[in-house]
Structure 1
């Protein structure tokens, strides 16, 4: 299996997704958009992973590669690729399929629980999650007004749209299950000015005080990917 990922900043890579891919003998390639690297042909990969980043999806003047990236993601979806978007990645997908991306009522940064819908819990992709799993967040925007073909499957107190599934093979996660400790440390180093304590924003010391959450999130990420791989192999999605 061949996985290609799109990376928007040097300090936010796929983290534990890369570990899972290595364990499952996947061929992994990447486009580092911040270095203006060339996008691949659609025939060169099976799954596409779209990473997070501090930019907004509409900042095309500042980040001109966003235009080409959006066209590329759209083409991947239309080609029936498995597509997974994390945070900014989920917002890009939401915009491409006809939804809107807006500023959330408050920023959500740190460890906060989400809740999955009852329908999501019926799927092997999400059935293994406990009630109210604690996941990592770092976002100020969110996706809204998704098309009918997209099902919102998770919410948090601060943000009602946390994840969606579109046409069975496209997934948008507002939260991060893939982040490892080095990634979180790098986020704090590069984006820590956003961490102004509030109801849904934790300070660096609080974020770094929970290595057990990182381990658990990474395990959930691996379980999701393994289930997804199996369902695709069986032709069930």
Structure 2
């Protein structure tokens, strides 16, 4: 086991570009599938940094492992462990901090424009970002802001796209970890979920247009988050 822990919940929601960043930095990491019981015997005192990836399930689904993961997150919050959550991961962190997570009346999918909230412009999690930028989205649930959290950014379809809690916890609604391969995989395996009649969704062709350039820009967004997360753990 290593000091960096990544929690996953589905084989198609991998660490993606986060794994690339860690490999480049020569940081070893452990990946556990929480939905397959791999957190059961894990030493919660071990990690110095935790990343929580996405998944197709809802925080509100009646699965025993969801409660177990929320309890683990609360333990790491109490230990002041740097954490970053992606989509479902951000929702799990929000729930662990006492916030509600609920279904939206539509599904937000595609390269959506995000904007920093004015009051969060100086937050160090956002220091590498312009006022407006894009993050890949695929979600039907959204989180409310936990008490004491700072809302960081929003999109036209989802006002709560990210929050900071204290100085070491970042919850995100989108998917900064996406790679070209992951985007193409999702648009192949999950194409039946797309509905271009919803204004909140981009069409498949639009999502794939100029994909290398879009992913390169997204990598820069992600790397700023990941570098701060690592610096907090290994200063």
TM-score (norm 1): 0.91
Give the Cα–Cα distance (whole angstroms) in 1 for the partners of residues 45 and 233 of structure 2.
Answer: 17
Moved over 6 A (4+): none
Distance 1:38 1:156, change over 3 A: closer
Aligned to 1:12: 13
In structure 1, the residue matched to 2:135 is 135
Q: CA deviation at 1:19?
A: 0.9
Moved more, 100-109 or 152-161: 100-109
Q: Please list, as runs of the form range in 1=range in 2, the aligned pairs for 1:19-58 lying within 5 A after superposition.
A: 19-39=20-40, 40-58=42-60
Task: Say if 1:163 and 1:172, in contact at 8 Å, map to a contact too.
Answer: yes
TM-score by length of 2: 0.91
- Residue 118 of structure 1 is matched in structure 2 by 118
- Contact 1:109/1:136 (CA < 8 Å) preserved in 2? yes
**How far is the alpha carbon of 1:230 from its aligned partner?**
3.4
Check conservation: 1:120, 1:127, Cα contact below 8 A: no
User: In the alignment, what sits opposite 2:70?
Assistant: 70
Figure out how many residues of one structure are paired with residues of the other and give that number: 231
Map 1:72-91 onto structure 2 (within 5 A): 72-91=72-91
1:194 equivalent in structure 2: 193
RMSD value, Cα:
1.7
Once the two structures are superposed, what CA deviation does each residue of 1:144-191 show, in whole Å capped at 9, x if it has no partner?
Answer: 1521x1111101111111000011111100011111112122222333
Secondary structure at the aligned position of 1:122 is classed as coil
* Structure 2 alignment gaps of length 5 or more: none
Counterparts of 1:79 and 1:195, CA distance in 2: 40
**Distance in 2 of aligned mates of 1:231 and 1:28:** 16
Determine the structure 2 residue equivalent to 1:59.
Answer: 61
Mark the CA change 1:45 to 1:153 in structure 2 (over 3 Å): closer, same or farther: same
**Which residue is 1:217 aligned to?**
218
On the 8 A contact 2:81/2:233 being kept in 1, the answer is: no
1:233 CA displacement: 4.9
Change (3 A) 1:138 1:87: same
Pick which of 223-232 and 154-163 moved more.
223-232
- Structure 1 residue runs of 5 or longer lacking an equivalent are none
